Amino acid sequence: MPRDALRAAAPLLREVGDLKRVRTADSTVSMAERAFLRSWAALVRGADPGRIATLECAAAVAGARLAGVDGPVLRQCGLTASEAAAVLARSVGRHAGRLDAVTLGRLREALPRLAAAERHGAPAPRFAVDLCAQPRAGATRPDHPRLMVEPPESHGDHCWAVAVYGGLLAEAFGADPTDAFLLGLAHHLHNAVLPDAGFAGEELLGEHLPGITARLTDRRLAALPGPLASRLTGLLALREEAVHPAARAFHAADVLDRVLQVHHHARAAAFTAEQALDDLDLVHPCAVSGFHRAVLAATEAA
């Protein structure tokens, strides 16, 4: 178990996961769902899976601090492609100590392509759209009421996060980053049709669950290009074990995302104004910060 690598990466993964909650004016879905749909659209068009995995992992790490400010936005704001790439590199560089050198180098090499990327309207397959509309069940346990948290994440959010986490952790497990990314992206294909009732619901489905999962997954795979479907079929078989390097990277990514998501809801429920004012420096240093603080002191708002 690569304990040091996991411990180092965990804070970055938490920040990357917050892209599930970042939205911009030009889209109704989260940055995570946007990347999930973009990945599937590119894969069904025949794009190289390794290239997609690298680009999306690089975009996620850059977005951990830049949020919705990506290459196309930077160029729309007047920056050249090289200037945009430098901004993306600055953001990725904030996490240099969180990733191994090989992974970091791969992400940095992808930044010029990210900076030059164009927004595209290529449609994603229907199942990907449905996964972005299908809510996750959250924490459930047989014979106990469900723990409801709002708003729930979507399966698109979760699958994207597991794909990216797996790609970022792959080197630590000796896995192929592309395999880890693809397995994360595809591991809930059946939930495009099957609503998520969580572990408690799976227990009630009992002996029917394996057949349901297999049938629904096969239907989704049948709609994909042959080589991609074949590769995904082999990778999805790894979900039931944790020996193969790609399976280990995938399972590490999956459990981390599930737990980090719960931690997000716990932090949101316990949020205080002091955290924003003191820890996050809401009234940050600037040319008029003295005036800002005087206003707050006069109104006793801080």
Residues 37-89: tens digit of each pLDDT: 999 999 999 999 999 999 999 999 999 999 999 999 999 999 999 999 999 99
User: What was the pLDDT predicted at 118?
Assistant: 84
**Residue 111 contacts residue 128 (beta carbons within 8 Å):** no
Q: In this structure, is residue 62 part of a structural domain?
A: yes
**Residue 165 contacts residue 18 (beta carbons within 8 Å):** no
Q: How many CA atoms lie within 13 A of 240 on its CB side?
A: 6
Q: In this structure, is residue 142 part of a structural domain?
A: no
Question: How far is residue 62's CA from residue 58's CA, in Å, rounded to a whole number?
Answer: 6
Q: In this structure, is residue 277 part of a structural domain?
A: no
User: What was the pLDDT predicted at 53?
Assistant: 98
Q: In this structure, is residue 125 part of a structural domain?
A: no
Range of the domain at 218: 3-120+149-271
**Residue 182 contacts residue 231 (beta carbons within 8 Å):** yes
Which residues contact residue 155 at a Cβ distance below 8 angstroms, ignoring those fewer than 6 apart?
Answer: 131, 132, 134, 135, 136, 188, 191, 192, 196
Residue 269: pLDDT band with limits 50, 70, 90: confident
Q: What proportion of the chain, given as a percentage, has pLDDT over 70? A: 98
Question: Is 79 exposed, middle or buried, given 0-12, 13-18 or 19+ CB atoms closer than 10 A?
Answer: middle
Instruction: State how many domains the chain has.
Output: 1
DSSP state of 80: -
Q: What are phi and psi of 294, to 5 degrees?
A: -65, -40
Which carries the bigger pLDDT value, residue 270 or residue 203? 203
Q: In this structure, is residue 289 part of a structural domain?
A: no
**Both tokens of residue 56?**
């999306």
**Residue 162 contacts residue 184 (beta carbons within 8 Å):** yes
Nearest to 223 by CA among 195, 192, 194: 192
Question: How far is residue 86's CA from residue 82's CA, in Å, rounded to a whole number?
Answer: 6
Mean pLDDT of the chain: 93
Q: In this structure, is residue 50 part of a structural domain?
A: yes
Q: What proportion of the chain, given as a percentage, has pLDDT over 90? A: 77
Question: How far is residue 60's CA from residue 172's CA, in Å, rounded to a whole number?
Answer: 18
Each residue of 122-180: pLDDT tens digit?
A: 899 999 999 999 999 887 888 888 777 778 899 999 999 999 999 999 999 999 999 99
User: What was the pLDDT predicted at 116?
Assistant: 94
Q: In this structure, is residue 244 part of a structural domain?
A: yes
Q: In this structure, is residue 302 part of a structural domain?
A: no
User: What was the pLDDT predicted at 225?
Assistant: 96
| Model pTM above 0.85 | yes
**Residue 136 contacts residue 187 (beta carbons within 8 Å):** no
- Residue 5 amino acid letter: A
User: What was the pLDDT predicted at 301?
Assistant: 58
Residue 205, pLDDT > 80, answer: yes
Question: How far is residue 267's CA from residue 259's CA, in Å, rounded to a whole number?
Answer: 12
Neighbours of 118 (CB within 10 A): 7
Residue 234, pLDDT > 60, answer: yes
